[in-house]
Amino acid sequence: MTRLTAPITCLLVANRGEIARRVMTTARAMGVRTVAVFSDADAGAPFVREADLAVRLPGSTPAETYLRGDLVVAAALRAGADAVHPGYGFLSESAGFARAVQDAGLTWVGPSPEAVEAMGSKLAAKELMAAAGVPVLPSVDATGLSGASLREAADGVGWPLLVKASFGGGGRGMREVRDPAGLEEAVEGARREAASAFGDGTVFLERLVERPRHVEVQVFGDTHGTVVALHERECSVQRRHQKVVEEAPSPAVDADLRARLADAAVTAARTLAYVGAGTVEFLLDADGSFWFLEVNTRLQVEHPVTEAVTGLDLVRLQLEVAQGAALPPVPEIRGHAVEVRLYAEDPARGWLPQSGVLSAFDVPHASAFAWPGHGVRLDSGVEAGSEVGVHYDPMLAKVIAWGPDRTSASRALAGALAQARLHGLTTNRDLLVRVLRSPEFLAGDTDTGLLDRFDLGTPLVDEAARRLHLLAAALAGAAARRAGATVLAGLPSGWRSNPTQPQRTPYEDGVVTYGLGAPAVDGEPLDVTVLSAGPTEVVLEHGGVVLRCAVHLDGATAHVDSAHGGTTHVELPRFPDPTATAAPGSLAATMPGTVTRVAVADGDRVDAGQLVCVLEAMKMEHPVTAPTAGTVTGLAVAVGDQVRTGQVLAVVEA
């Protein structure tokens, strides 16, 4: 590399969570001081504690804090920073923010404001790329269209189609439409979500490619006029049009296709006079045809898989290019890497985001920001005790595995996830493990509809292991109660001098009996010997095999982890509160959020599945629908209301 100019000595990271930690790790390794900005909701977050300096942004919502470019620039100047790294999301693709950083005399670690601006609108980007000879899909601006004019535009694009936010990303402001009857609602919903998430409600219609692959190319440009492609990534496993599993290289790309994709990506980047890290995204059909989707003018969430197979630190490369360095030669692909996004969400309930305290977070044998050849890498924004709030994306971490081939990388990653201790919140961990171990994935037969073909509610732990875990939960709970007893703590729980009845502990997923005869779950005996039972560990022998169960008791909830995976069991109260149940037909909020739409009024007749209202939480819209046909008799919310978990929104009397 050439000698660096305009050295960066103090870097402000205009972001939060795992990407803030990721950028600061490389900055520290380069001898650069780091500055974090943080909202009130993030005051206790790991990235704030780990930064050399930190500046508070008053408020909790993104609009009050991380999206306030003026406050971020002021924070950089106050802390003595001489450069700003935007991470991804928030202001990372704001041309106005990039200009404000430069106007303040700070180094912007990213492409020029002009390049960011050119790609800010997906519609304008498609027109620019089409003119440069990059293949694009048919699309049309939906601004101002409704009724017959909207239907005519949709017919021109062709069915099925996607409604997409022009200034959006990450699957937000996007709707799939197969039936013209749902077009108006899809457009309006996408507009609302896009306006809330990105501050611009412009949406367009685009032809939907059935079962495509999502393949992207990592590009880099320097100030010396060099633009290179650092190979491709496969990002086809998605939910709600947002990536969940990513890998490099793509199992569908051979040398010829790799060269064609790289040529198209470099053409796109050269058209923008691109400097820094960027990603050119394509849809890939089974016959090798591909179409331009967008250019992400920033670092991608999935950048670690490229780092793993090239040996490059892309954040270091960003900082060096921003200081005037020339790009190194493009390395060959080495081995294979797979990444998953670990979310606090419930796949079986429509990917419902979760909020609350993460009571345990541990991925054994994973190293923070490990480099190629070091097995499993963990890029996390949380730790045990972290609170996952409702204001931000519910991603907890990225977990990445590198191996000499695709199968070994996939198996290593699945094994690390299966052994992870993730307590306090429902996550997508079980689904990720099942995907990584599935014949479809291991065969490389992935497309953007893969998860639609999965049973999202199937747990990782099978029924036999679940019953053993349930017994372990009951035994650990009994041991904990005896350990906390003020007298005769050494006696087993429920001890009697003349026992006549076994102990009985009811859980939401079964009733455990033990103490007289063989232990049983729901009345069915278990062929098991209890070797030891304490508040944190229960050792069982089943079929001649010894199984150690680690138990984490959190109030009435028991988290049990073993070689089979992890389960959660909630103990039922011995004397339930008879007033604690809601009225039949009550629709309760499953998470804190804001009411953005109310679609019914008191007295309205509704059908099963009909929309009642819409909640916005964690930057996504969540429809609340009628569970059965009936009459709305207890509408309790209006647009703009803030609701808490469990709050009754409406009552539908069957």
For the chain, the structural domain boundaries read 10-109, 138-207, 213-453, 463-570, 586-653
Predicted pLDDT of residue 111: 97
Mean pLDDT of the chain: 91
At 156 the three-state DSSP class reads helix
Across 617-634, average pLDDT: 86
Across 575-600, average pLDDT: 79
- What does pTM read for this prediction? 0.86
Per-residue pLDDT band for 3 (boundaries 50, 70, 90) equals: very low
Query: 435-462 pLDDT, tens per residue?
Result: 999 999 999 999 999 999 988 888 999 9
Per-residue pLDDT band for 23 (boundaries 50, 70, 90) equals: very high
Q: What is the CATH number of domain 10-109?
A: 3.40.50.20
At 75 the three-state DSSP class reads helix
For 605-650, the DSSP string reads EE-TT-EEEEEEETTEEEEEE-SSSEEE------TT-EE-TT-EEE
| Higher pLDDT, residue 389 or 264 | 264
Using a pLDDT cut of 90, give the percent of the chain over it: 74
Distance CA 15, CA 133 (A): 35
Query: 27-74 pLDDT, tens per residue?
Result: 999 999 999 999 999 999 999 999 999 999 999 999 999 999 999 999
Model confidence at 104: pLDDT above 70: yes
Q: What is the CATH number of domain 586-653?
A: 2.40.50.100
Model confidence at 493: pLDDT above 50: yes
Is the distance from CB of 405 to CB of 348 less than 8 angstroms? no
Report which of 409, 216, 239, 251 is spatially closest to residue 341, judged by C-alpha positions: 239
Task: Tally Cβ neighbours within 10 Å of residue 581.
Answer: 9
CATH superfamily of 213-453: ATP-grasp fold, B domain (3.30.470.20)
Model confidence at 580: pLDDT above 60: no
Q: Which of 396-410, 571-585, 609-623 has the highest mean pLDDT?
A: 396-410
For the CA atoms of 130, 135, 139, 140, the dihedral, rounded to the nearest 10 degrees, stands at 0
Predicted pLDDT of residue 2: 41
Half-sphere exposure of 204 (CA within 13 A, CB side): 20
For 325-337, the DSSP string reads PPPPPPPPP-SEE
Distance CA 440, CA 228 (A): 32
Model confidence at 397: pLDDT above 80: yes
Whether 586-653 and 138-207 are alike in CATH topology: the answer is no
Query: 353-367 pLDDT, tens per residue?
Result: 999 999 999 998 888
Report which of 6, 173, 13 is spatially closest to residue 92, judged by C-alpha positions: 13
Residues in the chain: 654
Determine the straight-line distance between the first and last CA of the chain, rounded to whole angstroms. Answer: 72
Distance CA 23, CA 30 (A): 11
Is the domain 138-207 a CATH 3.50.30.50 member? Answer: no
